[in-house]
Structure 1
Amino acid sequence: MKAFFEGIEDLFVNVLFAPYDMFRFMESWWAANTINWILAIIGSVAFVYWMLELKKYDDKGEEDKSVTSHSYL
């Protein structure tokens, strides 16, 4: 089991989180923070887009909202 968990550690540390090592060696706090703000803005835009799509779908009124729409209700 130890080798299994070491394999998971190796996957995350050396593969998946490798791009984050670039942030560690940035000398400029502003550059690292700018990247974080860009990612936050992208996430916010995606969230607003998704909410608008859900609202558009809800406004069409095509969804069956009756109590018997699902057997477990």
Structure 2
Amino acid sequence: MEGLNYIAASIAVLGSALAAAYGNGQVISKTIECMARQPEMAKELKSTMFIGVGLIEAVPILGVVIALLLIFL
């Protein structure tokens, strides 16, 4: 049963990394699209994008924490 903890931990990290990559891609893609449509809003859009990307990057960190809990507890 010890091996199942490692499999569960790897699935947690993989899932969170894939979700964050997809989310970051969507946020950046839509921001660039909006900048192309309204160049005068580029500064505001860029700052909002960085906040969104920062929040999305919390997902893999939580995945790693869950993986560590599964392995060591």
TM-score normalised over the length of structure 1: 0.46
Say which structure is richer in helix: 2
> In terms of Rg, which structure is larger?
1
TM-score normalised over the length of structure 2: 0.46
